[in-house]
Amino acid sequence: MSLRFAIAFVVLGFIGVQTQERAPKIDTILEKDLRADLFFLASDAMRGRLAGTPENKLAAEWIKARFERLGLKPVGPNGSFYHPFDLTTATLGNDNHMEVASEMSPTLHLRSGKDFYPLRFSASGEAKGALVFAGFGITSPARFHDDLKNDAVKNKIVLVLDHEPGENDPESVFDGVVRSEASDQLHKTLFAQDRGALGILFVKDVHNHREPTNFDAAAEAYWPSESTRIGRFALASQVDRVRIPAVQISPVLARFLVEGTNKTLDELAETSEADGGITPVSLPGSQMSLVVSVERHTLPDRNVVAVIEGADPKLKDEWIIVCAHYDHNGADGDQVFNGADDDGSGTVGLLEIAEAYALAAQAGQRPRRTVLFAAWNSEERGLLGARAYAERPLWPLNQTVAVLNMDMIGRNEEVPIGGGRRFRGLEIQTSESNQNTVNVMGTTWSAQMKAMVETANEGILLQLKQDYDNNASNLVRRSDQWPFLQRGIPALFFHTGLHPDYHTIYDVPEKINYPKMTKVVRLVYQTSWDLAKMDGRPQLNSSR
């Protein structure tokens, strides 16, 4: 049997002889209802729903009230419709300094903001010791990769490169050209901390990024002298795990630190591309003393959650998650970032799907599995609401069958000539060419999920584009399905594409393609219903 035939056999066997059943009450998902909800949620009065603002809290209360009116079950703590979590932000303390004592030269007294700067998630404290270079600083057993072998970094200050091996290689084990979770600086810090490192230094990957660096400007942008309109948040539960100092250093300083190895920084960076990771390299002749002062500040946050319970005595203990995020980027004086498409469109779509399930249940047609409706917060701050749920779920993740996420489902993809970095890796295309298209991401992670959404689309007739799972735009990592894919849960991202109004004041409800958006919402509902009623569970491909 050929491999291609075998894969087809498995997928067809998975779908089985189950006939395509039109999801009940799918016709109640109406253009006029989506329009009415979106003109409220993305109105100027909602001031762009920035996390931490009164308007963001009002949006959460509005979603909660809709869930409650539909008769959905609250599943948050103490019978609430909220899933609470904490964010953290940071301010730079006064005492940040670094010294390097060398056998060959006078002690260097290095300046914060010039030679290094602390990272916002860094712990405050002191680290003093010898130095070791550890490539990209990644430990990933699933990829058989370890840059921190044995006790090489124990009781040392470790120097690592930003990013990951093979970042421009579509065949890279690190998720192709999509930046993997393991490449995140906070994760690398925790890897090093777990192996006994006293502190960690990050430097630009000079091998893959040869363009000149203005380190002073980067430091100023990271720690601006004046407060910014939008705070820079992280998930408190992750940051609180960091107990060692973590700083970014200039390539000039890094080149000095590696001189004793008789290799240049560029040569060490090139060797770091080795399959399986490198053996850490001691940096002889230098001792570092590092003092970091970063003050952490906690801010409470919340997702809005509700379920429709499954009817099958056994399968009701398995959950399907249908989700979208309700936050956006706020307002700057009279300039409102309405966020109609991003992600007012997905949020009102979520409400329509929840209503269809509720009406079906009232008519005696309940899904076999339980369906969780989740409106995530703080997606624009780094997928923080979804990450918080994935860390502290309301139901075990091994009992979560699949995730369907809607983010920007209301426009036509439009990539203009000269669009700039925001369109990196995307083909030039017009809005008119995408009148009936929707991007579905996550399909290369699960052939079974791909087959399901294609089957669900047979009665809806959208043009499905499945191009962006492995793309330099990193789109698959840029919305709330990503934390679930990283934990081995099949997940799809429904997205009608970037456009020039993305993250501008021109993302308003008047510009939404409501007929297409209605079809996208019906597609997500149909796919979720099919997942909720099927006998088996979709799986990730064996290569994942």
Query: What is the per-residue pLDDT across 136-190, written as a single tens digit (0 to 9) for each?
Result: 999 999 999 999 998 999 999 999 999 999 999 999 999 999 999 999 999 999 9
CATH of the domain at 347: 3.40.630.10
Across residues 316-344, what is the average pLDDT?
98
543 domain residue, yes or no: no
Q: Give percent of the chain with pLDDT exceeding 70.
A: 97
Across residues 259-265, what is the average pLDDT?
94
Check whether residue 81 and residue 115 sit in a common domain: no
Residues 443-499: pLDDT tens digits? 999 999 999 999 999 999 999 999 999 999 999 999 999 999 999 999 999 999 999
Check whether residue 315 and residue 372 sit in a common domain: yes
pLDDT band at 543 (very low <50, low <70, confident <90, very high): confident
Domain boundary among 264, 292, 320: 292
4 domain residue, yes or no: no
Residues 391-418: pLDDT tens digits? 999 999 999 999 999 999 999 999 999 9
Q: What's residue 212's pLDDT?
A: 83
Check whether residue 419 and residue 275 sit in a common domain: no
Check whether residue 288 and residue 310 sit in a common domain: no
CATH of the domain at 253: 3.50.30.30
Mean pLDDT of the chain: 94
Residues 166-176: pLDDT tens digits? 999 999 999 99
pLDDT band at 4 (very low <50, low <70, confident <90, very high): very low
Answer yes or no: is pLDDT of 34 > 50.
yes
Region of residue 503 (left: phi > 0; alpha: psi -120 to 50; beta: else): left
Q: What's residue 145's pLDDT?
A: 97
Answer yes or no: is pLDDT of 371 > 70.
yes
pLDDT band at 542 (very low <50, low <70, confident <90, very high): confident
Domain boundary among 292, 326, 359: 292
Check whether residue 284 and residue 308 sit in a common domain: no
331 domain residue, yes or no: yes
Asked whether the bond before 343 is cis by omega within 30 degrees of 0, the reply is yes
Domain that holds residue 164: 95-292
Q: What's residue 7's pLDDT?
A: 42
31 domain residue, yes or no: no
Answer yes or no: is pLDDT of 15 > 60.
no
Q: Give percent of the chain with pLDDT exceeding 90.
A: 91
Q: What's residue 87's pLDDT?
A: 97
DSSP code for 513? -
What tokens appear for 177 in the block?
């050209």
Phi then psi dihedrals of residue 95, to 5 deg: -110, 90
pLDDT band at 106 (very low <50, low <70, confident <90, very high): confident
22 domain residue, yes or no: no
508 domain residue, yes or no: yes
Domain boundary among 292, 313, 345: 292
Q: What's residue 16's pLDDT?
A: 42
Q: For residue 49, which of 482, 421, 507 has the smallest C-alpha distance?
A: 507
Check whether residue 306 and residue 203 sit in a common domain: no
Total domain count for the chain?
Answer: 2
Q: What's residue 498's pLDDT?
A: 98
Q: String of b and e for 131-151 (b: at least 16 CB within 10 Å)?
A: bbbbbbbbbbeebebbbbeee
20 domain residue, yes or no: no
Check whether residue 148 and residue 201 sit in a common domain: yes
Across residues 528-535, what is the average pLDDT?
98
DSSP 182-211: GGSHHHHHHHHHHTT-SEEEEE--TTT--S
Check whether residue 399 and residue 418 sit in a common domain: yes
Check whether residue 124 and residue 74 sit in a common domain: no
Across residues 254-273, what is the average pLDDT?
95
Check whether residue 184 and residue 217 sit in a common domain: yes
Count of residues in the chain: 544
Neighbouring-strand partners of residue 158 = 132, 200
Q: What's residue 12's pLDDT?
A: 45
Q: What's residue 103's pLDDT?
A: 75
13 domain residue, yes or no: no
Neighbours of 39 (CB within 10 A): 16
pLDDT band at 19 (very low <50, low <70, confident <90, very high): low
Q: What's residue 102's pLDDT?
A: 81
Check whether residue 264 and residue 387 sit in a common domain: no
Check whether residue 328 and residue 458 sit in a common domain: yes
